[in-house]
Structure 1
Amino acid sequence: MLLTNYPSQTGQDLANRFATAGVNVPDSVFYTSAMATADFLRRQEGKKAYVVGEGALISRAL
């Protein structure tokens, strides 16, 4: 597992960046702060949230 606090890129985006540097890593090993936020929001059953953020956060939150 690779953890990052960089929320604006998806796991696939990060895997592509690593591949550019010659390091092949599957996108499934990344866990970003956007993913953590989305997981937290999903556990808040019956509550609403107004999500302001970049595409990676919003796509994970929906």
Structure 2
Amino acid sequence: MVKLNGSAGEIMQLIDGNNKVVDIINTLNDKFPDAGDLTEDIYEFLSAAGEKKWLYYEQ
């Protein structure tokens, strides 16, 4: 089992096979406006999650 921090959990909740990365970015930027632009953080997490085989995605 992997225990995710709150930020990672927020991202993972939005991964449903239908949302595109841009949808996830927009949703989280809207949900957390005081955090600034989360784009880079989201891409970093998704990259790390892919490397750890937590996610599988087609390009």
Normalised by the shorter chain, which TM-score bucket? 0.3 to 0.5
Query: Taking CA–CA contacts closer than 8 Å with sequence separation of 6 or more, which of the two structures ends up with the larger relative contact order?
Result: 1
**Structure number with larger C-alpha Rg:** 1
Give the TM-score, by structure 2 length: 0.39
More strand by percentage: 1
More helix by percentage: 2
